[in-house]
């Protein structure tokens, strides 16, 4: 069994609420894209590849910012 405790950190109720609000604001296309990117990000973290992980984070940020700007 793989150890996943390194991926988990203390998360406040406020952070969970913020994540939930952000997720609920996304459209179905953005959710599908994130469903692909987030597991890749976790795999990169497991492999210890910070450069690739940063690229994935930048992609996720761009998706979220595009949606946020479209809503305003």
Going residue by residue through the chain (72 aa), what tens digit of pLDDT does each one get?
344 444 456 778 998 888 888 888 888 888 888 888 889 888 888 899 989 988 888 888 888 777 666 655
pLDDT at residue 47, rounded to an integer: 92
Residue 71 · residue 45 · CB < 8 Å: no
pLDDT at residue 30, rounded to an integer: 84
pLDDT at residue 16, rounded to an integer: 85
Measured between alpha carbons, how far is 68 from 39 in angstroms, rounded to an integer? 23
pLDDT at residue 42, rounded to an integer: 86
Predicted structure pTM score:
0.55
């Amino acid at each position: 069994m793989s150890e996943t405790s390194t991926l988990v950190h203390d998360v406040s109720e406020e952070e969970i609420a913020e994540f939930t609000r952000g997720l609920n604001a996304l459209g179905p296309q953005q959710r599908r894209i994130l469903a692909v990117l987030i597991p890749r990000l976790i795999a990169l973290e497991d492999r210890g590849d910070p450069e690739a992980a940063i690229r994935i984070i930048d992609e996720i940020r761009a998706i979220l910012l595009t949606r946020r700007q479209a809503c305003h």
